[in-house]
């Protein structure tokens, strides 16, 4: 439907155009002309009405072009893990296409857990190829909001708790996506760190936490990644909706960072015409999310940036400067995507994309615990493996909110293990527990019948009976993508596993020591049984190739190398947002608004655990391997640096085991003394090194001023004179070497007053 409409629209426009495509081709049609010249030329030819038209939606997922000038529509699609199925023009119902299935890639928590920028680039390129084949110009992703609480239903779409890690991982994703002519729309900008009360929460956060924790990944995507669009979030900040927020959009994004792309509203995120005009929103989508809710015949013309905006201009209430800026940004987006040449047609559901999904998934799986080398499985002929748990058979690509996908295929953990162990072992299955049996979201259904009328006691009895004689028991549980778990528009009610899974695990552990727990989730969960099981694997939502990725790691075909992108706390009270913050917010009297104070400031995740000497269940950066690595002596080329110099750190790392594998070597920086409180240490560099048995590689990090800087609201970004320490290790709680060094500012003015200085500078440790 879309392509035929597009081609006919362009054909009519070209036929009606007063210019030819010869030597007198208008600048805006000349793809060899500089981008800004094309934008200026197109803008000069547009009427007031045409400028208004291109800054708001005309359907669920597209905004109009300029047919008279041959400028096509702009088509967006939900991501960030795959290309969403087509819906009807004005409704969320499925369009009924038979060729809109996709490959589901692992969730972004898994990508972050790879700690591997090469995987991020592979991910972005593969996703872009699927988007181009489907005729999409903008992928609504990636998401880089910070992991503040393990209850956030949307954490699985994001890249963890650390701003440096998220910054490093988002840049190659954005670049690779856009290298294929598909725009990234980085979301949700900003402070969208929970789903409960997401439309009514007003975040109260100090500038230091804003700049050090919640903005760096967005800035990296914009400044280093060159993102072409960004999506505002639903929540408020400074009592203004973030989709038209002066501080976030005008002062920081477009001012300090020099963003030249388009700001797109989240669907229904615009609320006010004057604020949308003045405060930086460029394209309005989904204000009435059924397309016709206001009851008028032209619902989209009644959007805040449609007829009300036009009326304000025609009545003289506002001028056209803001409109011209918005139209320029939309034109720039169009010329970078749908009107750009030199890109291929993309590909859908290719063997290469399935291979990429499998590889990324296996690279991100984290081995959390491995008592007595339970893993990898060591199976003799005739071995018996029992798989237990609903998540072993449940499709996880359907559900979770806007990232729900219609896939061509999804290999479950049970089927993946059966395929991997074919001819080597007998693989049996027991349900263990019953959770969500629906398997439907937005008209896409899994096609599975998961109904089971047995009681919990009967299910446990069956599983225990089969487990007694098994060589290995693999329990696949965790969360799913149902409301109240890992799902948009709702948060979890607690840290514990749902559906009484703890009872099943305890019963299995009592009869079989070779019990492997596979936790499928995008969030930390409580593990009261952790010391009584053989192994624990964090498997994430792995997408279409879930079963293969998981089987690769459990069988040892792939050596696990993932590291946690967030802290697993032992209890909710160990999480800063719950200990001193105001999660989920305090409702104002006689108002729907919930004020939420981020009183923990910069002390989130491992920073908080370090500051209070709280032992985590599993630390940020933690992840085991089937081989062993020896860290050598940490050395530096200098012991002192200044604003114009750097220090290069070097450390040999050796694979001392019998398997090839990868280790993520992590660099943290500690400031011994500062004028403002600082974390005990902060991640400022990492390197994933692949080593054969016996092989040694030297890992190097270059530390510059930005790696030492913090944000002082009175001075901006500043690196203070003093003594620092470089700490290198395998996790935030597993430091293998420490080296002191000194920083000296040459002149007083080097204590900086430019609030836009680092964050891409936070990438200063390479």
**519-550: per-residue pLDDT in tens?**
999 999 999 999 999 999 999 999 999 999 99
Q: Could you confirm whether 734 is annotated as catalytic? A: no
Query: Are the beta carbons of 353 and 543 closer than 8 angstroms?
Result: no
Report the share of the chain in percent with pLDDT over 90: 90
At 67 the three-state DSSP class reads: helix
pLDDT at 293: 54
Q: Average pLDDT, stretch 96-115?
A: 97
* Same domain? 534 vs 665: no
Domain boundary among 536, 556, 572: 572
Residues 554 and 637 in one domain: no
Residue 23, pLDDT score: 53
Determine the structural domain holding residue 466 and report its residue range: 357-572
Residue 338 domain flag: no
Between the CA of residue 736 and those of 560, 632, 636, 667, what are the distances in Å? 20, 9, 15, 10
Whole-prediction pTM: 0.94
pLDDT digits 0-9 by tens, 170-183: 999 999 999 999 99
Please give the backbone phi and psi of residue 102, each rounded to the nearest 5 degrees, phi first: -145, 175
133-161 pLDDT, tens digit each: 999 999 999 999 999 999 999 999 999 99
Measured over the CA atoms of residue 51, residue 56, residue 59 and residue 63, the dihedral's sign is positive
pLDDT at residue 19 in the model: 37
The answer on 526 and 645 residing in a single domain is no
What does the alpha-carbon distance between residue 736 and residue 634 come to, in Å, rounded to a whole number? 9
Q: Which position has the higher pLDDT, 19 or 294?
A: 294
Whether residues 647 and 558 fall in one domain: no
Q: What is the CATH number of the domain that holds 524?
A: 3.40.50.1700
- Domain co-membership, 418 together with 535: yes
Is 315 contained in some domain? no
* Residue 250 maps to a domain: no
pLDDT at position 552 is: 98
Whether 377 and 481 share a structural domain = yes
> What average pLDDT does the structure give for the chain?
93
C-alpha angle 539/109/241, rounded to 5°? Answer: 145
- Pair 536, 652 in one domain: no
Q: Which of 100, 266, 552, 610 is catalytic?
A: 266
Residue 680 domain-assigned (yes or no): yes
Q: In this structure, are 676 and 561 located in the same domain?
A: no
**Average pLDDT of span 397-426:** 96
| pLDDT 10s digits, 27-37 | 999 999 999 99
- The answer to whether residue 619 is domain-embedded is no
Same domain, 644 and 568: no
Residue 670, domain member (yes or no): yes
pLDDT in tens, 325-367: 999 999 999 999 999 988 999 999 999 999 999 999 999 999 9
In the DSSP assignment, the letter for residue 680 is S
Task: Give residue 21's pLDDT band: very low, low, confident or very high (50, 70, 90).
Answer: very low
At 429, the pLDDT band (50, 70, 90 cuts) reads very high
Q: CA 608 → CA 164, 299, 572, 676, 724, distances in Å?
A: 16, 48, 13, 16, 20
* Residues in Cβ contact with 453 at an 8 Å cutoff, skipping those fewer than 6 apart: none
**Residue 577 falls inside a structural domain:** no
Distances (CA, A) of 758 to 615, 720, 765: 31, 14, 12
CA-based max dimension of the chain: 84
pLDDT tens track for 573-627: 999 999 999 999 999 999 999 999 999 999 999 999 999 999 999 999 999 999 9
Contacts of 612 (CB under 8 A, 6+ apart): none
Strands 236-237 and 201-204 come out as parallel
Which tokens hold the place of 143?
Answer: 């998401």
| Residue 287 placed within a domain | no
Q: How far apart are CA 625 and CA 636, in angstroms?
A: 28
For the chain, the domain total comes to 2
- Over residues 231-239, mean pLDDT: 98
Domain identity same for 458 and 361: yes
The predicted pLDDT at position 6 comes to: 37
Q: Which of 572, 599, 618 is the last residue of a domain?
A: 572
Q: Under a CB-based contact definition with an 8 Å cutoff, are residues 386 and 473 in contact?
A: yes
Domain end marker among 572, 592, 617 = 572
SS3 content of the chain, % helix, strand, coil (to 5): 30, 20, 50
Q: 403 and 526: one domain?
A: yes
Tell me the HSE value of 385 on the side-chain side, using a 13 A CA sphere. 28
> Three-class SS of residue 539?
coil
What is the CATH number for 644? Answer: 2.60.40.10
**Same structural domain, 561 and 705:** no
**Residue given tokens 């009270």 in the structure block:** 573
């Amino acid at each position: 439907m879309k392509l035929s409409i597009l081609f006919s629209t362009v054909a009519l426009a070209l036929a009606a155009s007063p210019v030819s495509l010869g030597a007198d081709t208008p600048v805006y049609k000349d793809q060899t002309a500089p981008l800004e010249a094309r934008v200026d030329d197109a803008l000069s030819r547009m009427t007031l009405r045409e400028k208004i038209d291109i800054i708001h939606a005309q359907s669920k997922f597209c905004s109009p072009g300029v047919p008279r000038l041959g400028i096509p529509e702009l088509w967006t699609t939900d991501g960030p893990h795959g290309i969403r199925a087509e819906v009807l023009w004005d409704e969320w119902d499925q369009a009924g296409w038979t060729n809109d299935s996709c490959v589901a890639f692992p969730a972004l928590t898994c990508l972050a857990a790879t700690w591997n920028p090469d995987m991020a680039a592979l991910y972005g390129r593969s996703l872009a190829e699927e988007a181009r084949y489907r005729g999409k110009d903008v992928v609504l992703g990636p998401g880089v909001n910070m992991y503040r609480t393990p209850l956030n239903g949307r954490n699985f779409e994001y890249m963890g708790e650390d701003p440096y890690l998220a910054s490093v991982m988002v840049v190659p994703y954005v670049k690779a996506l856009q290298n294929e002519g598909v725009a990234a729309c980085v979301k949700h900008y900003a402070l969208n760190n929970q789903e409960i009360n997401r439309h009514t929460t007003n975040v109260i956060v100090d500038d230091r936490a804003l700049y050090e924790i919640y903005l760096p990944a967005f800035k990296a995507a914009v400044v280093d990644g060159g993102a072409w669009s960004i999506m505002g979030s639903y929540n408020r900040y400074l009592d203004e909706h973030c989709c038209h927020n002066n501080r976030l959009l005008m002062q920081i994004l477009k001012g300090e960072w020099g963003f030249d792309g388009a700001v797109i509203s989240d669907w229904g995120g615009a609320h006010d015409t004057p604020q949308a005009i003045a405060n930086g929103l460029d394209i309005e989508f989904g204000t009435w999310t059924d397309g016709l809710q206001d009851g008028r015949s032209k619902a989209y013309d009644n959007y805040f940036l449609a007829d009300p905006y036009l009326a304000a201009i025609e009545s003289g209430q506002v001028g056209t400067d803001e409109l011209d800026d918005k139209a320029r940004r939309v034109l720039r987006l169009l010329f970078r995507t749908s009107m750009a040449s030199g890109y291929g047609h993309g590909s859908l559901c290719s063997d290469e994309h399935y291979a990429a999904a499998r590889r990324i998934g296996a690279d991100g799986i984290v081995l959390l615990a491995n008592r007595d080398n339970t893993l990898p499985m060591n199976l003799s002929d005739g071995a018996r493996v029992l798989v237990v748990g609903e998540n072993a058979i449940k499709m996880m690509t359907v559900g979770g909110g806007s990232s729900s996908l219609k896939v061509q295929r999804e290999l479950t953990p049970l089927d993946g293990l059966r395929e991997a162990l074919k001819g080597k072992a007998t693989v049996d299955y027991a349900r263990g527990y019953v959770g969500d049996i629906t398997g439907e979201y937005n008209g896409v259904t899994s096609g599975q019948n998961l109904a089971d009328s047995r009681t919990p006691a009967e299910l446990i009895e069956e599983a225990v009976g089969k487990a007694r004689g098994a060589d290995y028991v693999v329990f696949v549980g965790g969360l799913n993508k149902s409301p109240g778990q890992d799902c948009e528009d709702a948060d979890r009610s607690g840290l514990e596993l749902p559906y009484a899974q703890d009872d099943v695990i305890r019963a299995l552990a009592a009869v079989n020591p070779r019990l492997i727990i596979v936790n499928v989730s995008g969030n930390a969960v409580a593990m009261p049984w952790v010391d009584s099981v053989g192994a624990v694997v964090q498997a994430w939502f792995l997408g279409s190739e879930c079963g293969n990725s998981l089987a690769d790691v459990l069988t040892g075909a792939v050596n696990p190398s993932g590291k946690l992108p967030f802290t697993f706390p032992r209890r909710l009270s160990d999480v800063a947002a719950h200990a001193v913050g105001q999660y989920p917010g305090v409702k104002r009297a006689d108002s729907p608004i919930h004020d939420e104070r981020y009183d923990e400031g910069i002390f989130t995740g491992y920073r908080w655990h370090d500051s209070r000497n709280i032992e985590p269940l599993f630390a940020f950066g933690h992840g085991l391997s089937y081989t062993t690595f020896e860290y050598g002596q940490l050395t530096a080329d200098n012991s002192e640096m200044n604003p114009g110099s750097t220090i290069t750190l070097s450390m040999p790392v050796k694979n001392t085991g019998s398997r090839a594998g990868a280790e993520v070597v992590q660099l943290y920086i500690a400031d011994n003394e500062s004028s403002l409180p600082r974390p005990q240490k902060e991640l400022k560099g990492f390197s994933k090194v692949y080593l054969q048995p016996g092989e040694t590689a030297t890992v190097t990090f270059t530390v510059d001023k930005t790696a030492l800087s913090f944000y002082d609201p009175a001075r901006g970004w500043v690196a203070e004179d003093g003594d620092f320490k470089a700490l290198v290790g395998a996790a935030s709680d597993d430091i293998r070497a420490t080296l002191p060094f000194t920083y000296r500012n040459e002149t007083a003015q080097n204590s900086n007053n430019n609030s836009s200085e680092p964050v891409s500078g936070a990438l200063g440790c390479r």
